[in-house]
Amino acid sequence: MRIPQEAKTPAVPMLDLKAQYRRLAPELDAALRGVLESAHFIGGEDCGLFEREFAEYCGVSHAVGVANGTDALALALKAWGIGPGCDVVTVAYTFVGTGEAILLCGARPVFVDVDPTSFTMDPAQLEKALTPRTKLILPVHLYGHPAPMKEIRQIAARHGLPVLEDAAQAHGAELDEKRAGGLGHAACFSFYPSKNLGAYGDAGMVVSNDGDFVARVRELANHGEVSKYEHRVPGTNSRLDTLQAAVLRVKLRHLDLWNRERRERVAAYHDVLGDAGGVILPRERRDSRSAWHLYTIRVPERDRLKAELAGKGIATAVHYPRPLHLQAAFKSLGGRPGDLPVSEQLSREVLSLPLYPELPLEAASRIAAEVRAFSATPVGRA
Ligand SMILES: *Cc1c(COP(=O)(O)O)cnc(C)c1O
């Protein structure tokens, strides 16, 4: 198939949510109609059912739905008593919401570097960053790859610290056959539409085996209310709405299939790119299964490859072009170039290729062949 150079809309998008809707339209339409007819838009039956079903999926006992993933993190931190004077150790190589949630509750993010192959928190760096002010550790399962939780939990246990998973990109990821969400003291999920499990708007969730903790999050997410018009603490309005819960209940039933379909597309990429020089491929650690939220490769000439693929109608994206310690929003922390060399190098070299369950396998193979051809072309000859 030839795609004209001047194609306006990318022939292969990063994601195709319309295709996903077409697959599920009858189920989704019925679920949405059920909510519309019940007119229980806040706190309807689907909210509690989805909380139970998602907790069970993660292998934990409790869950509370909230308005989005950033609130899930901020409310979880707050429910843990994290606030001014507390340090939270996390990574700078992540989506902004991770660090933002720490600032939102008045605490200070302490950024550590990541491992260059798994893109997740480097336990050796974590150990070095701990101080008496450290109150919590917040690793991120970036791109769907579980952070090295065994090592992180060991370090946390030695220092008596809780571990909160940012599992916003890791619905269904596994470490030692246990799912993300059950790998720390608590975990936060986002159901932003593009995530492996995505709502039709914003939504999030906090899960944990600690029922008291989840009850505190629930209280904070609903105006600090303990019973009708009795407010124990200042909270906020961050509830999961019923229409989103209804959509998510339908989609949860398909998540494992979709994650398997993602894995097949990853295999198609790997088949063609496996031994290509000049490209570093994302790999799973032996003890874990990625949820493959993103398929992110490393290439030194990233921007040139991105432009070349765009010219062929292939969309790509950079996750993420600037680590948080170098973002203006985190300037007050005094981060400087050179502080986190691995994160900074990754931000210059990473490129995410299209990956979604409906991506035709032959499209993955064709994209991989383009990347392979590019990396085989000596620099300066193109
Ligand atoms: C998406 C995401 C969030 C925030 O989720 P929202 O629902 O968009 O607020 C937090 N952390 C990571 C790693 C994410 O990918």
The pLDDT of residue 379 = 58
What pLDDT score was predicted for residue 276? 85
Domain co-membership, 269 together with 191: no
Whether 9 maps to a domain, the answer reads: no
Q: What is the pLDDT of residues 35-58, one digit of tens each?
A: 999 999 999 999 999 999 999 999
Q: Which of 272, 275, 307, 274 is nearest to 382 (CA)?
A: 307
324 and 208 part of one domain = no
Tens digits of residue pLDDT in 93-151: 999 999 999 999 999 999 999 999 899 999 999 999 999 999 999 999 999 999 999 99
Question: Do 260 and 248 belong to one domain?
Answer: no
Ligand 1: atom nearest CA of 73 is 10
pLDDT of residue 302 exceeding 70: yes
Could you tell me the maximum CA-CA distance found in the chain, to the nearest angstrom?
Answer: 71
Instruction: Please tell me the distance from the alpha carbon of residue 152 to that of residue 246, in angstroms, as a whole number.
Output: 35
Residue 308 domain-assigned (yes or no): yes
Average pLDDT (22-35) is 97
Q: Whose CA is nearest to atom 10 of ligand 1?
A: 97
Same domain, 342 and 228: no
Residue 372 Cα to ligand 1 midpoint, Å, equals 31
The separation between CA 1 and the C-alpha centre of its own chain, rounded to angstroms, equals 34
Q: Report helix, strand or coil for 28.
A: helix
Kindly state whether residue 74 falls inside one of the protein's structural domains: yes
Residue 377 pLDDT grade (very low, low, confident, very high; cuts 50, 70, 90): confident
- Looking at residue 127, its pLDDT comes to 96
Could you tell me if residue 10 is inside a domain?
Answer: no
Domain boundary among 252, 286, 315: 252
Distance (Å, whole) CA 227 – CA 207? 22
Identify the CA nearest to 41 among candidates 194, 201, 266. Answer: 201
Q: Where is the domain boundary, 234, 252, 270?
A: 252
In this predicted structure, the answer to whether residue 381 has a pLDDT above a threshold of 80 is no
User: Tokens in use for 352?
Assistant: 């995410």
Q: Which of 227, 252, 277 is where one domain is finished?
A: 252
For residue 102, the domain's CATH number is: 3.40.640.10
Q: Does 328 score more than 90 pLDDT?
A: yes
Q: What is the pLDDT of residue 2?
A: 56
Asked whether residue 219 carries a pLDDT value surpassing 50, the answer given is yes
Is the residue at 8 inside a domain?
no
What are the residues whose beta carbons fall under 8 Å from the beta carbon of 160, sequence distance 6 or more? none
**For the purposes of burial, counting CB atoms within 10 Å of the CB of 224, is it exposed (0-12), middle (13-18) or buried (19 or more)?**
middle
| pLDDT top residue among 378 and 183 | 183
Distance 104 CA to ligand 1 centre (A): 14
Residue 3 lies in a domain: no
Are 114 and 241 in a shared domain? yes
Mean pLDDT, the chain, whole residue set: 95
Pocket test for ligand 1, best of 73, 90, 94, 98 (most atoms within 8 A of CB): 98
Instruction: Residue 370: give its domain's CATH number.
Output: 3.90.1150.10
Q: Are residues 231 and 272 in the same domain?
A: no
CA separation for the pair 357, 173 (Å, rounded): 15
One domain, residues 248 and 303:
no
Q: pLDDT of 260-296, one tens digit each?
A: 999 999 999 999 999 888 999 999 999 999 999 999 9
Q: What type of residue sits at position 27? A: E
Pair 153, 260 in one domain? no
The answer, yes or no, to whether residue 1 has pLDDT greater than 60, is: no
Indicate if the pLDDT at residue 9 is higher than 50. Answer: no
Q: Are 5 and 308 in contact (CB under 8 A)?
A: no
Domain count along the chain: 2
Least Cα distance to 371 among 320, 321, 302, 324 occurs for 302
| 192 CB within 6 A, ligand 1 | yes
Does residue 382 have a pLDDT over 70? no
Confidence of residue 376 (pLDDT cuts 50, 70, 90): confident
Query: In this predicted structure, what is the pLDDT of residue 25?
Result: 97
Tell me, yes or no, whether 236 and 294 share the same domain: no
pLDDT at 230 over 90: yes
Q: What is the extent of the structural domain holding 329?
A: 255-375
Q: Is the Cβ atom of 213 under 6 angstroms away from ligand 1?
A: no
Nearest CA to 220 out of 68, 76, 43, 52 is that of 76
Amino acid at 173: A
Q: Are residues 279 and 299 in the same domain?
A: yes
Residue 66 near residue 217, CB atoms below 8 Å: yes
Looking at the fold, whether 316 and 298 belong to one and the same domain comes out as yes
Per-residue pLDDT at 85: 98
189 & 264 share domain:
no
- Retrieve residue 79's tokens: 């429910």
Asked if residue 6 belongs to a domain, the reply is no
This prediction's pTM? 0.96
